[in-house]
Chain A
Amino acid sequence: MNTPVNTPLSAPLIEVRDLQVTYRTDKVATRPVDGVSFAINPREVVGLIGDAGSGKSTTALALLGLARPPGRITGGQIRFDGRDLLTLPDTDLRDIRGRDIGIIVQNPRASLNPMLRVGRQIGFAYQAHNPATEAEARKQAVEMLRMVGINDPERRAEAFAHELSGGMAQRALIAMALSSRPKLLIADEPTSGLDVTIQAQFLDQMWQTVQETGSAILLITQELGVIANYCDRVLVLHDGRIVEDAPVRQFFDAPAHPYSQEVLGLRRSADAAAPVREGTAAPLVTLDALTKHFPLRGSDKVVQAVDKVTLTIGKGEAVGLVGESGSGKTTVGRCLLQLVPPTSGRIAFAGSDITALPPTEMRALREKMQIVFQDPFDSLNPRWTLAQILAEPLKIHAPASAAAHRTRAAEALRLVDLDPALLDRRPRGLGASTLQRVNIARALILNPEFVVLDEPTSVLAPRARTSLIGLLARLQAELGISFLFISHDLTTVRYLCQRVAVMYLGQIVEQGTVEQVFNNPRHPYSQALLSAHLFPDPTWRRVDHPVREALQGEIPSPIDVPKGCYLASRCPHAVDACRAVPQVLEPLADGRNLRCARVVKGEV
């Protein structure tokens, strides 16, 4: 159960020395990997962390002697099994790839051959390194699929890549990577795009599998939580070089490199002084039984995206809305701003009902309520300069001279810690983090009272995420704006919000203060969600203690919702009554709301 956190004293499995990868396009050469050196020991789980573009994926491929064209490995040594992989002939290298070093890449669906059945592909990978007949390879493929936790592997082996969900494709890729029991597994962001509950299941499984087969892992990720919970040692890649190589606890306790310190900054300040403020009594936004159904084309059925959500956001309060993808969080945010009309229910802003407002009045009201979207690239017009982008809301709501608008735009940029010199730049070439700040500046330029933040940090690298969250916390404290913070990242929500609502399948299942929900979740779903979340804390590692509260099975379809409790099919505490009786959101004595009759009655 316990793995040595400190590295064992044995010969390293793989030793990389001064690795260089160069991209040469039209006389311009860039070097995303510029002198990387590190070693991995047998049975060790090593995390590799770094910003987007820091060369993580390029390093991963280079360990196999590969580079994405037009890149080339231009220098260095990779010693594996006493040989230098970079000087081996092609056929010998091919023997090592897949047999001794397996890799799981990002974007699993595109990495599977779209024209071959998954089982056959896994079979090919197996046959490439093991003497096996077609039938044996097939049997092995099914066996591998079963091992990575795919239900009904015989049937799944017959599927094509496009018929698999992202998580399923990821598992198929793992099955292929592990089919020859490699000594080293390279996992390049193996859980990007997966939901938290699935991510945890999946990493547990990978960790378990590797422990059973006695391999080592190089785990590339941007998530500190993943590092803290699964890795023995951390490598930090910055500008194409390893800038820090430390055991995981040492990394979290005393990061040496300035970059590492920056990445870990949020966590440390969160420990020091999380912004705890009382939500003021005056409610600003009130949702009353908000419901949104999307009709299904060619059918009289509906997708029940939001089901009677009741929520209050006080003046100056930040409320987190958490849940897995498909739980209806985003739809709540959009209905709230009347970007999509709700099917039924009431939305009140500053005491007045806005659901039936005429379009002109609604437009005037938008000055007070703004939104920041998830994708910073798509939400900015690429042809406009930042000055034009920021002045657009002013033109509608606060007409004034162009010079006055420009001054306001410059102020807005300063507010989000950007240089006003950027005003004449266009979005192209500015990083995701800068663009997201521009989005926030645009949302704030009209001095709104309320802002919906829809996963504003999910596409950002860890360092950018940390600083953006710091910015949001500062803005909320300085400007007293109310936030609805929609996110699946519980670490962020915990840091930024005073209250939190947990959504499952369109319903709020639990709602309370951050302390209540995070420290003592009562609803079985909240418990599962929190236990699946990987908090960046290496002292309480997920792999070192047995995990409770795991959910079984998959989320039911929002088209045919269960009759009783929506969670009943996955809940460890479900009894017959749960399946028959719809659950209602009931207030508890401590002020929170809960949608679980058994917990309310004290049976669980």
Chain B
Amino acid sequence: MLLRSISRRLLIGLIQLLGLTIAVFFLIRLLPADPVSRLVGMNASEQAYAQAQAQLGLDKPVLEQLALYLGLMPGTQPGLLQGSLGISWVTNSPVTSEIAAYLPVTLELITLAFLLAFVVAVPVGMLSALNPGGRADKGVFVYSLFAGSQPEFWWGLLFVYVFFFQLGVAPAPLGRLSPMTSPPEWVTGFILIDTLIAGQPAKFVEALHHLMMPVFTLGFVLSGPIIKMVRQNMVRALQSDFVLYANCVGLPRKRVARYALRAAMAPSMTLIGILYGFMLSGAVLVESVFSLGGIGQYAIRSVLAFDYPAIQGVVLVITAISLLVYLALDLIHAAIDPRIAH
């Protein structure tokens, strides 16, 4: 039953991805932009222009371009069906391998940031709901006043100033490792995993040290909405009939709090999922502050250069990850709340 519903969701996800790919394919080409002249320059000869256009395949009819991209024309070049996202027009290297280089940076950063935010925000939100007007609740108010009203890059800069420049406990915001260290052999792209695979604990610690500030910054900003959501859902759960009844039968305070937390977590998971999908590209500001080349930066670069295959690749990958995250969260949601039928 569970497996069937998962595979059904995955199948629907694939169809969604295909639809999105085709939509994005046409939408990009509707942009009032000329990627060829962007590549060859404004002063290029007509001949050079035509040559570049032919090289990019832009001289062919649009439907043929789509078929090529999808990999429906065997014997020409590998397409989506063959697992290729095409060749970047700017760098001439496969989009797949470029995304494989950029994506893990972002995934690592935001996954850790979400873990941090989750671990901090859920108990804080819960405490502030259990004792409205109490110390935790007041703290939350002050925090959300500040954290919520300032952009994350500003917090990043502030933390760099305090922890690197003033206190010296954080490393310089210059990437995932210090510039003097050679990176470990590329296996997964996740530096924490790769250093462990390579058996270099010193580098693992160094990578962790470098991740500390960006993760903290992002976690700091992300905690705000999560705390609010948990608090609000928890307050609502505490007023529900079943919590009242749990008090009526004299369950211990702790058990009642657990009842309410579980009821509050189910809807909060939805917000966390949406935030995660959003942060895949939304973490770009924090990544820039700490010189981490993430998928967001790759996306911006591609858009500015009209690098069609790269844009398509980024959209596709981010969507695919978001869909997987939503699926995972729906499964968690169903595990928390049995009323959610598969």
A98 to B249, CA, bound (A): 4
Provide the A78-102 mask, 1 if CB < 8 A to any CB of B, else 0.
0000000000001001111111001
Interface residues of A in 167-204 (CB under 8 A from B): 173, 176-177
Say yes or no for A280: interface residue by CB 8 A criterion: no
Instruction: Judge whether A66 and B249 touch: CB under 8 Å.
Output: no
Provide the B230-265 mask, 1 if CB < 8 A to any CB of A, else 0.
000000000111101111111111010001001100
Say yes or no for A124: interface residue by CB 8 A criterion: yes
Say yes or no for A272: interface residue by CB 8 A criterion: no
A124 to B239, CA, bound (A): 20
A342 to B337, CA, bound (A): 41
Provide the B109-148 mask, 1 if CB < 8 A to any CB of A, else 0.
0000000000000000000000000000000000000000
Instruction: Judge whether B247 and A97 touch: CB under 8 Å.
Output: yes
A94 to B251, CA, bound (A): 7
Please report the total number of B residues contacting A with Cβ < 8 Å: 23
Instruction: Judge whether B250 and A112 touch: CB under 8 Å.
Output: no
Instruction: Judge whether A105 and B249 touch: CB under 8 Å.
Output: no
- Which residues of chain B are within 8 angstroms of A90 by Cβ–Cβ distance? 253
- Which residues of chain B are within 8 angstroms of A69 by Cβ–Cβ distance? 239
Instruction: Judge whether A114 and B250 touch: CB under 8 Å.
Output: no
Instruction: Judge whether B249 and A112 touch: CB under 8 Å.
Output: no
Instruction: Judge whether B337 and A68 touch: CB under 8 Å.
Output: no
Say yes or no for A230: interface residue by CB 8 A criterion: no
- Which residues of chain A are within 8 angstroms of B338 by Cβ–Cβ distance? 114-115, 160, 162
Pick the contact of B339: A95, A162, A177 (CB < 8 A). Answer: A162
- Which residues of chain A are within 8 angstroms of B240 by Cβ–Cβ distance? 110
Say yes or no for A37: interface residue by CB 8 A criterion: no
- Which residues of chain B are within 8 angstroms of A415 by Cβ–Cβ distance? none
- Which residues of chain B are within 8 angstroms of A173 by Cβ–Cβ distance? 245
A111 to B248, CA, bound (A): 10
- Which residues of chain A are within 8 angstroms of B253 by Cβ–Cβ distance? 90, 94
A61 to B339, CA, bound (A): 28
A66 to B239, CA, bound (A): 12
* Given A114-B242, A115-B262, CB of A94 within 8 Å of CB of B339: no
A528 to B266, CA, bound (A): 46
- Which residues of chain A are within 8 angstroms of B24 by Cβ–Cβ distance? none
Pick the contact of B248: A103, A110, A115 (CB < 8 A). Answer: A103
A128 to B245, CA, bound (A): 14
Q: Which residue in chain A gives the minimum CB-CB distance to B265?
A: A115
A451 to chain B, nearest CB (A): 37
B259 to chain A, nearest CB (A): 6
Instruction: Judge whether A176 and B337 touch: CB under 8 Å.
Output: no
Interface residues of A in 60-74 (CB under 8 A from B): 61, 64, 66, 68-69
- Which residues of chain A are within 8 angstroms of B266 by Cβ–Cβ distance? 115
* Given A115-B262, A128-B255, CB of A66 within 8 Å of CB of B337: no
- Which residues of chain A are within 8 angstroms of B251 by Cβ–Cβ distance? 94, 98, 124-125, 128
- Which residues of chain A are within 8 angstroms of B249 by Cβ–Cβ distance? 97-98, 102-103, 125, 128, 176-177
Provide the A194-218 mask, 1 if CB < 8 A to any CB of B, else 0.
0000000000000000000000000
Say yes or no for A107: interface residue by CB 8 A criterion: yes
A125 to B245, CA, bound (A): 10
* Given A66-B247, A162-B339, CB of A112 within 8 Å of CB of B242: yes
Say yes or no for B320: interface residue by CB 8 A criterion: no
Pick the contact of B244: A68, A160, A177 (CB < 8 A). Answer: A68
Interface residues of A in 414-444 (CB under 8 A from B): none
B265 to chain A, nearest CB (A): 10
Say yes or no for A113: interface residue by CB 8 A criterion: yes
- Which residues of chain B are within 8 angstroms of A114 by Cβ–Cβ distance? 242, 263, 337-339
Say yes or no for A17: interface residue by CB 8 A criterion: no
* Given A111-B241, A113-B246, CB of A128 within 8 Å of CB of B339: no
Say yes or no for A334: interface residue by CB 8 A criterion: no
Say yes or no for B336: interface residue by CB 8 A criterion: yes
- Which residues of chain B are within 8 angstroms of A162 by Cβ–Cβ distance? 338-339
Provide the B153-179 mask, 1 if CB < 8 A to any CB of A, else 0.
000000000000000000000000000
- Which residues of chain B are within 8 angstroms of A176 by Cβ–Cβ distance? 249
B187 to chain A, nearest CB (A): 41
A128 to B253, CA, bound (A): 10
Q: Which residue in chain A gives the minimum CB-CB distance to B247?
A: A66
B158 to chain A, nearest CB (A): 39
Q: Which residue in chain B gives the minimum CB-CB distance to A126?
A: B249
A110 to chain B, nearest CB (A): 4
A177 to B244, CA, bound (A): 13
Q: Which residue in chain B gives the minimum CB-CB distance to A113?
A: B242
Pick the contact of A61: B248, B250, B252 (CB < 8 A). Answer: B248
Can you list 11 A-B contacts (CB < 8 A)?
A: A66-B248, A93-B250, A94-B252, A97-B247, A102-B249, A111-B242, A114-B339, A115-B259, A115-B338, A124-B255, A128-B255
Chain B interface residues toward A at CB < 8 A = 239-242, 244-253, 255, 259, 262-263, 266, 336-339
* 6 interchain residue pairs of minimum CB distance: A98-B250, A97-B250, A98-B249, A111-B245, A110-B241, A125-B249
- 12 more CB-based (< 8 A) A-B contacts, given A103-B245, A114-B339: A61-B244, A94-B251, A97-B247, A97-B249, A98-B248, A98-B249, A111-B241, A112-B245, A114-B337, A114-B338, A129-B250, A173-B245
